[in-house]
Amino acid sequence: MCILRNNKMAKKQKTGLLTKLLQFTAWLTGIIVSLAVGFALINRTLSVPYIGVVNIIAGWIVVIATLLGILISILGRLLR
């Protein structure tokens, strides 16, 4: 499949299976790490010094933002 860019024909590159697998692995790792950090902040296992109760709020923000990111990513894939 070719697309026209700047009056030149450019071939659209297909993404290989290995590339897709690596992208998915990186995405999943990011989700796992984000949720781990968020829940650690909520449970006070992890904290940022000098901000006190804001750690819990920050933890909830991280968890909610991660879940929204998952939802948006899945919806974006389904709507293509």
- What's 26-67 look like in SS3? HHHHHHHHHHHHHHHHHCCCCCCCCCCCHHHHHHHHHHHHHH
pLDDT in tens, the chain (80 residues): 555 556 555 566 777 999 999 999 999 999 999 999 999 999 999 999 998 889 999 999 999 999 999 999 999 999 98
- Residue 69: give the domain boundaries: 31-80
The confidence score (pLDDT) of residue 7 equals 55
Asked, for residue 3, whether it belongs to a domain, the answer is: no
Asked, for residue 13, whether it belongs to a domain, the answer is: no
pTM score of the predicted model? 0.76
The confidence score (pLDDT) of residue 47 equals 93
Indicate the number of domains in the chain: 1
Asked, for residue 4, whether it belongs to a domain, the answer is: no
